[in-house]
Structure 1
Amino acid sequence: MIRQALTLAFALATATLAPAQQTIQPTRPVPVGKAPHMTFQLVKNTPEEKVYAIVFLKGDEILSGLTDFAIANHIGDAHFTGIGAVSGATLAWLDLPRKIYHAIPVTEQVEVLALTGDIATFNNKPVIHMHAVLGKHDGTTVGGHVFELNVNPTVEVFLTANTAPLTKRPDDESGMKLIDPKP
């Protein structure tokens, strides 16, 4: 009887883990054109750097929008921060031995408490590397590598673009693309 109860408890526990264990390939392409309401303003322009205020509105997806922004503005080296709120997200954690990400689905309205990232190029295309910490209604948080953030009502990003481009290189040990600081 105890053995049956333990077997049932184990089966129920592993069944509830299945959706969170969905995997995402690090090379998953970023969809373009999913931030139709995104607007921006250049707020600082010097020979060394440009600073942009980028505003996303309800219905925009941030990773797609930042990728589109970097392509349109020829940005090959930048870092950014942001705050706001989203109606859902796909975050992930890196399973380094397997060289794959495990999805952390967020299916509720949450506050973007911290959004940080950088941009560098790989094969002459901008690559966005972004992490977020999201605050839930009860004050708990969830965080990770960002694969998708669906804006509601707004997210405000301040992006600093530098004039010297940075590139990424493949890292065979991790399976990731890492910034190569060598010119």
Structure 2
Amino acid sequence: MKSKQLATSGDRAFVLVLDSGDEVLQSIKAFARDNRILAGRFTGLGAFSSVVLGFYDFETKDYHRIPIDEQVEVASFVDNIATTDEEVSIHPHMVVAKRDGSAFGGHVLEGRVHPTLEVLIEDAPAHLRRVRDKETGLPMLKV
């Protein structure tokens, strides 16, 4: 993983380039923690050798796992960064496309980068916090 802070006139911004084999969530969380990004957002493009997406089931209060064990292109990758219980918390959603153009989307549960993933992270000026919602069981942004 390589990174560089971008020159901006406002909030901090970084480009993060993940390498083949990197696990996406661990890498981004570690980067946010190491750079003290407590609130922000990111977007990204690239590809995975495998990815597990999730669809939240309100009845079970858990994610239905959607494993995709083949090379896919990242068509869209968006997220916000906040803190939950004083830990960096990310809320990533993604759309990936298979070779035939079929697309799958959902919450990112895990993903193995191949050959690269390019992520633009923007630090937000306000501190965002997540609090677990009793009804859904999900950590929701507190505004």
Tell me the CA shift for residue 170 of structure 1.
1.2
Cα deviation digits, residues 44-70 of structure 1 (max 9, x gap): 344x51111000010101100011011
**Distance (whole Å) between structure 2 residues aligned to residue 104 and residue 138 of structure 1:** 18
**Distance (whole Å) between structure 2 residues aligned to residue 177 and residue 108 of structure 1:** 30
TM-score, structure 1 normalization: 0.76
Secondary structure of 1:163's partner?
coil
Percent identity (aligned): 37
- Structure 1's unaligned 5+ residue stretches are 1-37
Which of 67, 78, 98 matches 2:29?
67
Corresponding residue number in structure 2 for 1:166:
128
Q: Aligned runs of 1:49-88 on 2, under 5 Å?
A: 49-88=11-50
Tell me the CA shift for residue 106 of structure 1.
0.5
Tell me the CA shift for residue 146 of structure 1.
0.3
Point out the structure with the larger strand share.
2
Tell me the CA shift for residue 159 of structure 1.
0.7
Point out the structure with the larger helix share.
1
- Structure 2's unaligned 5+ residue stretches are none
For the aligned residue pairs, the C-alpha RMSD in angstroms reads 1.0
Corresponding residue number in structure 2 for 1:42:
5
Secondary structure of 1:91's partner?
strand
Aligned residues: 143
TM-score, structure 2 normalization: 0.96
Q: Aligned runs of 1:143-162 on 2, under 5 Å?
A: 143-162=105-124
**Distance (whole Å) between structure 2 residues aligned to residue 120 and residue 85 of structure 1:** 25
Moved over 2 A (4+): none
**Distance (whole Å) between structure 2 residues aligned to residue 169 and residue 58 of structure 1:** 34
Query: Rg bigger for which structure?
Result: 1
Secondary structure of 2:18's partner?
strand
Cα deviation digits, residues 153-183 of structure 1 (max 9, x gap): 00100011112211111100100000101xx
Which structure has more relative contact order (CA 8 Å, sep 6+)? It is 2
- Whichever residue aligns with residue 42 of structure 1, its letter is Q
